[in-house]
Amino acid sequence: MSDQRIFSRYKAYEIRAELQQGNVKKHRASAAKRKNALKKIIANITMGFSSEMLDLFPDVLEFWRIDDNMEVKRICHQYLVAMASTKSNHFEDALRLVVGDLTSGSERLQTLALRTLAAVPLDPYADECHKAVRTILQKSSNSEKLKKTALYAILKLLNYDTTRASPLLELLYDTLSNHREGPAVRANALFILNEIQETTPMLQNFSVDFDTCADMLELLAKLNEWDSARVLDSLTGSYVPHSHSDAHHFIEKSVSQLQHNNTSVVLNAFKFVLYLTKYVDYLTERLLKQLSGSMVSLLNKPAELQFLVLRNIILLLLGKEKPVLTIDISYFFVEFNDPIYIKDTKLEILYLLAKEDNLSQILQELKEYATDIDIQMSRKAIRAIGNLTVKLEQSADECIALLIELLDFEVEYIVQEIVSVFKNVLRRYPERYELCLEKLVRFTDWVQEPESRGSMIWIITQNYSHLPNYLELFQLFANNFLDEVLEVQFVILGSAVRLFTRNPTPVTEKLCVDILKNATERIDDPDLRDRAFVYWRLLSFAQNGQNGNIGMDAAREIIDGTLPPIALNTQLDPQIVEELELNIGTIASIYLKPVNQVFRLNKPKSLPDSPALNENREPLTIIAGDSRSRSSSFIADSIQPEFRRQSSSPVKKMDDYDKPAETINPLKDRRKSSSPSLHLSRKPSMLARKLSLRRPFA
Amino acid sequence: MASSIYFCDTKGKTILSRRYRDDVPASAIERFPALLLEAEHESSIIPPCLTHNDVQYLFVQHNDIYVLTMSRSLSVNVAQIFSFLYKLIAVLEEYVKTVEEESIRDNFVIIYELLDEMLDYGIPQITETKMLKQYITQKSFKLIKSAKKSKNVVRPPSQLTKSVSWRPEGIVYKKNEAFLDVVESINMLISANGQVLRSEILGKVRVKSHLSGMPDLKLGLNDKGIFSSDNSADKPGESTGKRANIELEDLKFHQCVRLSKFENEKIITFIPPDGDFELMNYRLSLPIKPLIWCDAKIQVHSQSRIEIHCRAKAQIKKKSTANSVEILIPVPEDADSPKFRYSHGSLKYVPEKNAILWKIKSFTGGKEYSFAAQLGLPSMSDVDVPKVKRPIQVKFQIPYFTTSGIQVRYLKVHEPKLQYQSYPWVRYITESGDDYTIRTA
């Protein structure tokens, strides 16, 4: 086909020649040729040669005038929009033509012209656009499509000049409340109002009342799928239920949308229903089942959508003591053909779902993955096992047994990973697993990666009293001090000093002094050097006893104080969860970050206040079956004990030391930059970052 | 929503683009190849969303292209964007058959037109192919003729303004037929010792409608949820039927189905779009036994050879037959000189997949076949023992059979104006899903 030639670079004069070649009008062959030439212009603009194509402006205008063909018109309009940034003075001439199209009888041309008017950021165009929008929206005979285009034009005009366009908002309100308008028009008016409220400082108090909301939900059946999704999206947050019964009413109305085939409708309906559940006094078991079911069935969609759904499931699991979703863990078993980002996310979910009663099943799976052919996967699985050990105290034995079993495979990367995770395990249960130590230190020669080396050194130091040959082992690392990476050097320095303070013998003293000497004299890194100096000074103060304030005991307390216990926090701050839940299906839900943390422009969402709002967010009563009578109101826990998350006493905070143990993904670059004294004062955001996608697949 | 849409080649270079909003700078796309490379470099995997300079890159992969949208807002509705991108690809496929780099270049004018119709200001609009085809005719050269004939520009169809946005009026067929395909895919994960770890049935009902006018259809299934509530009042004979009613989970319907009617009365009624579409899909996670059972004993004699004994059995009714059965058994890399002994089907070593492929054209229910294979392994190999942890994958098709037992009881076609006679046809098929795998020990 000749189209192939279209996609190559042309000079303006070449195309002009072609355009003028057959200027005898009404001739079929020349019309085709002309069209071909016009196509070349567009192709060249696509390839980025727009400045060259700018020369053809007068020619394009000429054809616009004489040619009635829809396709030619379309290309001309497209040309105009593409050239908008040049602000060429031909635009004045063009405006007349655009307005001409706008007043032509044809709806398609009108739409095209209106779009062009709104897309060209020039004052005269905006003026015309204002006029056009008003006349179109006020005339009831215009078609739905044209009116929709006019509505979108308002959005564009607002972006172009906010103050001038603000009177148009009235028009939007009128359209929304006008019952004679077509369903799609009203739906889009709602959507645009909501969009304006979200992205601009205007319309702060935009809200939808009960009747409008009811109307909109009635319209759903008549809308196309995208419009339905938008309506559900817009209603979330803008309609505020004033009583429990209102909320119940709308939940019932919208729950059927969960069965739509279009993922975006389902997710938006899910969001809307979940939002409404904040305003009710009880939930029915059936509703919860429907919600869970709708999520599960989305897991069979293409990978990208599946990924989005999985991330949202994580969000829902993170949020609650008692998650809304009850999904069998087997759905999150990793499939061989899954893309790796899906596997990764599933692993995270498995970890979050793990509880005492399903642990053995999950461990069995993790073991499969740990011996997987894919090294990344295997490492992540081991890390997950390690974290589970820390998380589930009662089942720690089972997890440890598996780790030891995997250790016996004697595969290099498995060993390294296990050593890395064992640090946290031993820190969590200091006196419980000494028996494993022997086994671990057998692999001292195996550990090569900085993290596992650091971990091994820490383990040796911390448990020296159980290891008769600890000095020998430690020496292995200490001798290498200068060649290690910075991260390991820090650990060696700290460990050497600690060994000395714990067990001050001539041997440990020499060891300690050697390291301090090396660190202060032969290391270039200022942080490491300074720390060595601090240690050294502290120790010499303490030993000389010049200053009465610091004795050896005090120094020991400083250097080797008791570590705060590790606790895992698998929950986000309720405030953030609340915001994220209003953002289901958006990017924020993938990154699990509150919107305004990244973009100041976007406003944080929060649940609007209402008498019906479940203020203290206590778990709702769940009623079995459909009955509305609350005769048998028992708490959800008693119905579905297996789905209840282990709610350990108030969540302990771990805001010192390493990274939280639940990170499945080692965030390599981050770790380097964060010195060991990383302070996690803002824990939720930290967790959000761990779960973020920035570098999740390291 | 979406600020722009791009079609990029495998390297991330733009083939075609359409910008809807100016909030993302035009230069942002130039970063895309680098971002892809970076993501790949870092972890050899590319997630479907990337961020750079506050710009969100959301994309799906299809054949040799990326379809990418960009957005600046973090609250952009990803669900909508991904669903739309898939829909867009589906629509393009109807126009250009395969969507790939070449076909996009060849048809860029049509694609521009489609993008104009399907998105307005980056907001998804009509995506029903039948409706779009009225606006945008198949090939551009066809347009010349119509332009010659009518001096006036083509009037737009009035259908878009009607409440049924997915079906134009005035469709006429000589013979009014509706074809129903009930397709069930089985996903199954079986452990090495034969235990079924996970099984599910994914069913869908595809409809090909060749019906005139604006027909209203009513579909009856033997689903418990659908039948129990109307108490078989209108169909008294049905309740005594032999077949047990089954309960479907997670029904999902095409946008034409009246969801509120289904929710309240459990009746599936709809005005179908013309042509092919997927009416509904459902999921069942009841425990099922493997339809094609397969047991492979793989013995690796390291550094010399590998022996495989494999048995497969069709655990389906004697009357049924499984067609085009394919069993893919993994073997270590670098295996050579395969020797096979087998009774049925054809056996082939596929070195590029590092696997043995066993094909059985037709596998009658209750039969059991087996084969034995031996492959040589290189005597020199790495220190590590070659580990084969890939699962056995099985593919098959079983016609005239649904695993769930779902049955179409009736399909009533009612066209109020034309009142024609119509012929509904139903076919059933069960096939393997994407994940029908058996783990190897």
**Tokens representing residue B318 in the block:** 């004697």
Residue A624's pLDDT is what? 59
User: Quick one: angle between helices A225-238 and A183-199, nearest 10?
Assistant: 50
Pick A345 or B164 by higher pLDDT: A345
Q: What is the pLDDT of residues B263-273, one digit of tens each?
A: 777 788 898 98
Pick B141's closest partner by Cβ from A32, A263, A331: A32
Question: What residues of chain B lie within 8 A of the CB of A599, using their CB?
Answer: 54, 72-74
Residue B395's pLDDT is what? 92
**Tokens representing residue B9 in the block:** 């080649």
DSSP summary character for residue B19: E
Q: Which class is B177-288+403-438 in CATH?
A: mainly beta
Sign of CA dihedral A319, A324, A330, A332: negative
Distance separating alpha carbons of residues A372 and A333, to the nearest angstrom: 13
What's the CA dihedral at A64, A69, A71, A76 to 10 degrees?
0
Smallest CA-to-CA distance from A306 within A275, A336, A346 is with: A346
Distance separating alpha carbons of residues B55 and A601, to the nearest angstrom: 13
Q: What is the mean pLDDT of chain B?
A: 79
Distance separating alpha carbons of residues A47 and B105, to the nearest angstrom: 11
Residue of A nearest to B266 (CA): A256
What type of residue is B256?
Answer: C
Q: What is the pLDDT of residues A517-529, one digit of tens each?
A: 888 888 888 888 9
Exposure of B48 in the CB half-sphere (CA atoms within 13 A)? 27
Residue B245's pLDDT is what? 55
Pick B120's closest partner by Cβ from A108, A149, A293: A149
Fold matches, B177-288+403-438 and B292-399 = yes
Q: Cα A479–A484–A486 angle (5° rounding)?
A: 130
Q: Cα B225–B230–B235 angle (5° rounding)?
A: 110
Interchain pair A224, B280: CB under 8 A = no
Q: CA separation (Å) from A531 to A528, A535, A560?
A: 5, 6, 15
Q: How many CB pairs under 8 A join A and B?
A: 287
Q: Is the model's pLDDT at A594 over the cut of 80?
A: no
Under 8 Å between Cβ of A207 and A190: no
For residue A387, name the pLDDT band (cuts at 50, 70, 90): confident
Under 8 Å between Cβ of B418 and B222: no
Query: Exposed, middle or buried: residue A494 (CB in 10 Å: 0-12, 13-18, 19+)?
Result: buried
Q: Is the model's pLDDT at B384 over the cut of 50?
A: yes
Residue A430's pLDDT is what? 79
**Quick one: average pLDDT of B49-66?**
85
Pick A247 or A206 by higher pLDDT: A247
**Quick one: average pLDDT of B293-305?**
82
Q: What is the pLDDT of residues A61-94, one digit of tens each?
A: 887 777 777 778 888 888 888 887 777 778 888 8
Q: What is the pLDDT of residues A286-312, one digit of tens each?
A: 888 888 888 888 888 888 899 999 988
Polymer length in residues for chain B:
441
Contact partners, residue A393, CB within 8 Å, separation at least 6: A429
Exposure of B97 in the CB half-sphere (CA atoms within 13 A)? 4
Interchain pair B113, A341: CB under 8 A = no
3-state helix, strand, coil in chain A (%, to 5): 65, 0, 30
**Tokens representing residue A288 in the block:** 């919860």
User: Quick one: angle between helices A57-66 and A28-46, nearest 10?
Assistant: 140
Interchain pair B79, A264: CB under 8 A = yes
Q: What is the pLDDT of residues A252-286, one digit of tens each?
A: 888 888 888 888 999 999 999 988 888 888 888 88
Q: CA separation (Å) from A530 to A16, A224, A379, A559, B360?
A: 73, 66, 35, 15, 72
**Quick one: average pLDDT of B110-127?**
84
Pick A333's closest partner by Cβ from B105, B153, B197: B197
Pick A261's closest partner by Cβ from B60, B253, B434: B253
Q: CA separation (Å) from A189 to A41, A151, A152, A167?
A: 36, 7, 9, 15
Interchain pair B80, A226: CB under 8 A = yes
Residue of A nearest to B82 (CA): A305
Interchain pair B106, A4: CB under 8 A = yes
Return the CATH number of the domain spanning residue range B292-399: 2.60.40.1170
**Quick one: average pLDDT of A119-124?**
84
Under 8 Å between Cβ of A621 and A635: yes
Interchain pair B249, A297: CB under 8 A = yes
Distance separating alpha carbons of residues A573 and B23, to the nearest angstrom: 32
Interchain pair B108, A108: CB under 8 A = no
Under 8 Å between Cβ of A317 and A349: yes
Q: What is the pLDDT of residues B78-97, one digit of tens each?
A: 888 898 999 999 888 888 88
Backbone φ and ψ for A575, nearest 5 degrees, come out as -60, -45
| Domain boundaries of chain B, sorted by first residue | 4-145, 177-288+403-438, 292-399
Q: Is the model's pLDDT at A644 over the cut of 50?
A: no
ipTM of the complex: 0.75
Residue A22's pLDDT is what? 57
- Other C-beta atoms closer than 10 Å to the C-beta of A180 total 7
Q: Which class is B4-145 in CATH?
A: alpha beta
Q: Are strands B49-52 and B14-19 parallel, antiparallel or unpaired?
A: unpaired
Contact partners, residue A653, CB within 8 Å, separation at least 6: A567, A569, A683
Helix (H, G, I), strand (E, B) or coil at A456: helix
Q: Is the model's pLDDT at A516 over the cut of 80?
A: yes
Residue of B nearest to A43 (CA): B108
Smallest CA-to-CA distance from B104 within B12, B16, B33, B4 is with: B16
Smallest CA-to-CA distance from B97 within B58, B63, B132 is with: B63
Helix (H, G, I), strand (E, B) or coil at A204: coil
Helix (H, G, I), strand (E, B) or coil at A139: coil
Distance separating alpha carbons of residues A251 and A272, to the nearest angstrom: 8
Produce one character per residue of A627-637: b if its CB has 16 or more CB atoms within 10 Å, e if not: eeeeeeeeebe
B302-321 residues touching A, CB cutoff 8 A: none
Residue B183's pLDDT is what? 92
**Quick one: average pLDDT of B193-209?**
87
Residue of B nearest to A594 (CA): B74
Produce one character per residue of B268-294: b if its CB has 16 or more CB atoms within 10 Å, e if not: bbbbbbbbebebbbbbbbeebebbbbb
Q: What is the pLDDT of residues A393-405, one digit of tens each?
A: 888 888 888 988 8
Produce one character per residue of A257-282: b if its CB has 16 or more CB atoms within 10 Å, e if not: bbbbbbbbbbbbbbbbbbbbbbbbee
Under 8 Å between Cβ of A284 and A625: yes
Q: What is the mean pLDDT of chain A?
A: 77
Q: What is the pLDDT of residues A20-29, one digit of tens each?
A: 765 555 556 6
What type of residue is A559?
Answer: I
Distance separating alpha carbons of residues B31 and A28, to the nearest angstrom: 44
Is B90 an 8 Å CB contact of chain A? no
Question: What residues of chain A lie within 8 A of the CB of B260, using their CB?
Answer: 220-221, 253, 256
Pick B74's closest partner by Cβ from A73, A376, A599: A599
Q: What is the pLDDT of residues A609-626, one digit of tens each?
A: 777 776 555 556 666 554
Smallest CA-to-CA distance from B358 within B390, B335, B329, B382 is with: B329
Q: Are strands B408-414 and B123-124 parallel, antiparallel or unpaired?
A: unpaired
Predicted model pTM = 0.73
Contact partners, residue B437, CB within 8 Å, separation at least 6: A335, A336, B188, B189, B190, B391, B392, B393, B394
**Range with the poorest average pLDDT among A31-35, A408-412, A435-439, B148-152:** B148-152
**Tokens representing residue A676 in the block:** 């060991």
Q: Are strands B368-376 and B305-314 parallel, antiparallel or unpaired?
A: antiparallel
Residue A570's pLDDT is what? 64
Residue B126, min C-alpha distance to chain A (Å):
8
Q: What stretch of H or E contains A238?
A: helix A225-238
Interchain pair B391, A104: CB under 8 A = no
Distance separating alpha carbons of residues A286 and A269, to the nearest angstrom: 16
Interface test with B, best of A81, A216, A255, A259 (most B CBs within 10 A): A259
Interface test with A, best of B75, B165, B197 (most A CBs within 10 A): B75
Residue A690's pLDDT is what? 38
Rounded percentage of chain A residues whose pLDDT exceeds 70: 81
User: What is the three-state SS of B270-322?
Assistant: ECCCCEEEEEEEEEECCCCCCCEEEEEEEEEECCCEEEEEEEEEECCCCCCEE
Residue A636's pLDDT is what? 33
Residue A343's pLDDT is what? 87
Residue of A nearest to B79 (CA): A264
**Range with the poorest average pLDDT among B145-154, B293-302, B412-421:** B145-154
The answer for B121, left when phi > 0, alpha when psi is -120 to 50, beta otherwise, is: left
Pick A346 or A697 by higher pLDDT: A346
B175-214 residues touching A, CB cutoff 8 A: 189, 197-198, 202
Is B82 an 8 Å CB contact of chain A? yes
Contact partners, residue B61, CB within 8 Å, separation at least 6: none
Distance separating alpha carbons of residues A458 and A423, to the nearest angstrom: 7
**Range with the poorest average pLDDT among A189-198, A278-287, A299-308, A678-687:** A678-687
Is B115 an 8 Å CB contact of chain A? no
Q: Is the model's pLDDT at B138 over the cut of 70?
A: no
Under 8 Å between Cβ of A80 and A44: no
Pick A590's closest partner by Cβ from B78, B109, B141: B78
Pick A470 or A690 by higher pLDDT: A470
Q: Is the model's pLDDT at B410 over the cut of 70?
A: yes
B324-363 residues touching A, CB cutoff 8 A: none
Contact partners, residue A517, CB within 8 Å, separation at least 6: none
User: What is the three-state SS of A322-357?
Assistant: CCCCCCCHHHHCCCCCCCHHHHHHHHHHHHHHCCHH
Question: What residues of chain A lie within 8 A of the CB of B44, using their CB?
Answer: 340, 376
